[in-house]
Structure 1
Amino acid sequence: MSAVTTTAAPSANLAQRGKGAFLGLLAWAVGLLFFLPVAWMVLTSFRSESDAATNPPSLTAPLTLDSYREFFGGGASPWPPLINSLTASLLSTLLVLVLALPAAYALSIRPVKAWRDVLFFFLSTKMLPIVAALLPIYLIAQNLGMLDNIWLLIILYTAMNLPIAVWMLQSFLAEVPASVIEAAQIDGARLPVILYRVIMPIAGPGIAATSLICFIFSWNEMLFARVLTGVTAQTAPVFLTSFITSQGLFLAQMCAASFAISLPVLAAGFAAQDKLVQGLSLGAVK
């Protein structure tokens, strides 16, 4: 009996290792599949326009920095759109956190009556397609004289990301031990102190993950920015459309601009990757 058990154990371990290796290879294949378009965009950005437009594309074409020189030094300056995107994304993310943290506190740690209905209401605000609300928002902004105004985008991005932030933070704050909060209250701490000194350090990874997601959504948003801005408040995604002209599609320059505009988001994601993983898995295991 023991011989049979001893023989079966290595076979089971071998099968488990084989399954793990297969899943690992599958994960790498899926990851490379998603990364391939990004890698091709970066490679195309270092080609000349004539080489980038060849069909089929050439893998041995010479590399050049002409597209980056043209993006940063020729034609319209990319810095005002980049600054507008950075301003709108950072300020809207900050406003979202200021508004979402107390709301998530009221829905998780000190739940209000029918808190599930409140959460569903927040979710229901995302069911209306943005394009359906675009015309009323445009008319309101026109009447208020706020077209081509960066503050209009900040308000819209805050409203756009607030439901997502409340939902995420509610699940993160629900993991904060109630005993820690009760101890702080016994010591005389009030709500602002509890939020800043007790809850935020414990739920820091979740707050960081929420902030990063809201920042990415604001940075990549294009529909509002394309319709409601002109020159003064133009954002980086709208600036990319300037490379599609009546003279043709400047593919190499567009790839260079896309890569340069993606760098702030990539840098933020790389810097906060540990917090992002911890935050997204914070409420996964009870």
Structure 2
Amino acid sequence: MARAVTPRRKAFNTLAAWIVGVLVFFPILWIVILSFKTEGDAIKTPLAVLSAPWTMESYAVVQERSDYFRHFWNSVVISLGSTVIGLVIAVPSAWAMAFVPGRRTKDVLMWMLSTKMLPPVGVLLPIYLICQSLGLLDTKIALVVILMLINLPIMIWMLYTYFKEIPRDILEAARMDGASLKEEVLYVLLPMAVPGIASTLLLNIILAWNESFWTLNLTAAKAAPLTAFIASYSSPEGLFYAKLSAASTMAIAPILIMGWFSQKQLVRGLTFGAVK
């Protein structure tokens, strides 16, 4: 029998949630505020910053100096491309591990997860040389493949967890009704795992969108995404806080909007199978 939650306990939990939410969101809010200030106002004390006049000057300078929409398009292609290709590989892999398990399935899963523990700088040189020899430096193709391989273990782990929650009897019933392997996966398994697939898709788009190590080291101008767009405003001459904040706001705005509208689907997918 579930224990009743008292009004005092509920009020405390609500207050604690609001405090945590404000602490997490405040840095983003402060970046947005600084983006509407001049460089001189951006380095003042917090109270002086809030009372300073608002201006779109930094956004105008950023757009004039850098082609935002080209970087934005590169980010869209890289994040969506790596995620979609990863799903094509991860879905059959997770299906095989969930419904045709072998004695080494857990070992394979742990080995895949262990690849995420390797510092990226440890494999930077060989990957850089491979891209250079194939003529793929500063190309979206290289970043799509690399980010797909980097996030593939997470995608397979998440999908494996969701697929394990689907009753095996349903798939066996589909086979008894004459469904082929392709029909079983496309028309039975995937529709039942839509929340899990959607959350995997959204999470990996966010991971690819925010990836900076590989994008900064393997691109120069043509394939540079928004992470390189932000880094271009950190120079040896110093930090231009207002312009850097404007560039950061322009870079995170699309992914924040996507997360806001898809938060229910994301939460539903992440808690898929948690409650029986």
TM-score interval, smaller chain: over 0.9
* CA shift in 2, pair 1:249/1:273, >3 Å: same
Shift, 1:253, TM fit: 1.5
Structure 1 residue 172 and structure 2 residue 162: aligned? yes
Structure 1 residue 34 and structure 2 residue 63: aligned? no
Match of 1:24 in 2: 14
Between 135-144 and 52-61, the greater mean CA deviation after superposition: 52-61
Structure 1 residue 76 and structure 2 residue 39: aligned? no
> 1:126 is paired with a residue of what secondary structure?
helix
Deviations 1:257-278 (A, max 9, x none): 1111112211221222111111
Match of 1:66 in 2: 57
Contact 1:45–1:254, Cα closer than 8 Å, also in 2: yes
Query: What stretches of structure 1 of length at least 5 have no aligned partner?
Result: 1-11
Question: What is the letter of the counterpart of residue 188 of structure 1?
Answer: G
Pick the structure with greater CA Rg: 1
Between 242-251 and 217-226, the greater mean CA deviation after superposition: 242-251
Between 265-274 and 234-243, the greater mean CA deviation after superposition: 265-274
Q: Matches of residues 124-273 of structure 1 in structure 2 within 5 Å?
A: 124-273=114-263
Contact 1:51–1:57, Cα closer than 8 Å, also in 2: no
Shift, 1:163, TM fit: 0.1
2:108 to 114, 118, 127: 118
Question: What is the letter of the counterpart of residue 229 of structure 2?
Answer: F
Match of 2:272 in 1: 282
> 1:125 is paired with a residue of what secondary structure?
helix
Deviations 1:184-235 (A, max 9, x none): 2122222222222211221111111111111111111111111111111111
* CA shift in 2, pair 1:281/1:261, >3 Å: same
Query: What stretches of structure 2 of length at least 5 have no aligned partner?
Result: none
Shift, 1:247, TM fit: 4.1
Runs of 4+ residues over 4 Å off in structure 1: none
Contact 1:105–1:111, Cα closer than 8 Å, also in 2: no
Alpha-carbon distance in structure 1 between the residues aligned to 2:65 and 2:188: 51
Deviations 1:6-40 (A, max 9, x none): xxxxxx97x83212211221111011111111111
* CA shift in 2, pair 1:123/1:25, >3 Å: same
Question: What is the letter of the counterpart of residue 67 of structure 1?
Answer: S
Alpha-carbon distance in structure 1 between the residues aligned to 2:181 and 2:73: 35
Question: What is the letter of the counterpart of residue 107 of structure 2?
Answer: D
Match of 1:53 in 2: 43
RMSD, aligned α-carbons: 1.7
* CA shift in 2, pair 1:56/1:28, >3 Å: closer
> 1:189 is paired with a residue of what secondary structure?
coil
Between 114-123 and 179-188, the greater mean CA deviation after superposition: 179-188
Deviations 1:44-100 (A, max 9, x none): 11111211122455211111111222223x112112211111101001000111000
Alpha-carbon distance in structure 2 between the residues aligned to 1:232 and 1:102: 34
Question: What is the letter of the counterpart of residue 127 of structure 1?
Answer: M
Match of 1:9 in 2: none
Alpha-carbon distance in structure 1 between the residues aligned to 2:13 and 2:72: 40
Contact 1:181–1:194, Cα closer than 8 Å, also in 2: yes
* CA shift in 2, pair 1:192/1:268, >3 Å: farther
Shift, 1:252, TM fit: 1.1
Question: What is the letter of the counterpart of residue 97 of structure 2?
Answer: L
Structure 1 residue 107 and structure 2 residue 97: aligned? yes
Q: What is the number of equivalent residue pairs in this alignment?
A: 273
Sequence identity, in percent? 42
Contact 1:105–1:170, Cα closer than 8 Å, also in 2: yes
Question: What is the letter of the counterpart of residue 263 of structure 2?
Answer: Q
Alpha-carbon distance in structure 2 between the residues aligned to 1:56 and 1:202: 50
* CA shift in 2, pair 1:64/1:142, >3 Å: same
Question: What is the letter of the counterpart of residue 168 of structure 2?
Answer: A
Alpha-carbon distance in structure 1 between the residues aligned to 2:273 and 2:115: 23
